[in-house]
Amino acid sequence: MPLPSSGMISLGQMHGEAGGSLTGACTINDSDIRGLIGKGSGSQMAFSEWHGASSTYSATLTVGSTSWESCIKNCVTTYAYGYSATYGSLSYTTVGTISGSPTVTALYWDNSDALYLAMNGITSNSGWSTLTIGSTSFSRTSGYHWTYGTGSTWSWYVSTNPIGTSGTKTVTIT
């Protein structure tokens, strides 16, 4: 449950939202607490920055599209947000709810019937459990995972486009 949107917030409440005990030892500079608002170690912070903070990453996806092949023979069209081609957007790309605060570099479905999520700054198949796009959820453990350099990608076989071809969708990662 998100932290209060106004008024006083205790360090214990922050720790609880980050997954710790309400009474356990913690500091405002602990990575899980900083992760609720995407702050780096030693950053200047005020308690008011945690108003409404949640352990669930949530962003608005504006759907874009692009074609990756020449479209003469095997045209692959992708829908959503991509880093190597400028299409679509996410309102917020830093996933402060995962240790190390990785960034979403791509989230798209393509007409080869696959959904992809790529994050830079995470190289393990851990740290989150569910990706939800609109009202459709995908379990991390049911996807195929691979790493590259400093990042990871997950993919799921999905024959129906969960993103759509235009408009916006709410994306959450828990």
Residues 72 and 151 both lie in one domain: yes
Domain extent for 19: 11-50
Please tell me whether residues 108 and 167 are part of one structural domain.
yes
| Domain shared by 46 and 99, yes or no | no
> Within a domain: residue 154?
yes
pTM value surpassing 0.75: no
Average pLDDT score over residue span 43-54: 82
Instruction: Tell me: do 23 and 98 sit in the same domain.
Output: no
Pairwise CA distance, residues 20 & 147, whole Å: 28
Residue range 66-100, pLDDT digits in tens? 776 555 555 667 777 776 556 788 887 878 777 77
62 and 107 part of one domain: yes
Q: Are residues 30 and 81 in the same domain?
A: no
Among 54-63, 104-113, 121-130, 152-161, the minimum mean pLDDT is found in 54-63
Chain mean pLDDT for the chain = 83
- By the 10 Å C-beta count (0-12 exposed, 13-18 middle, 19+ buried), 133 is classed as buried
* The pLDDT of residue 28 is above 70: yes
Q: Is residue 5 part of a domain?
A: no
Residue that the structure tokens 């917020």 belong to = 92
Pairing of strands 77-81, 64-67: antiparallel
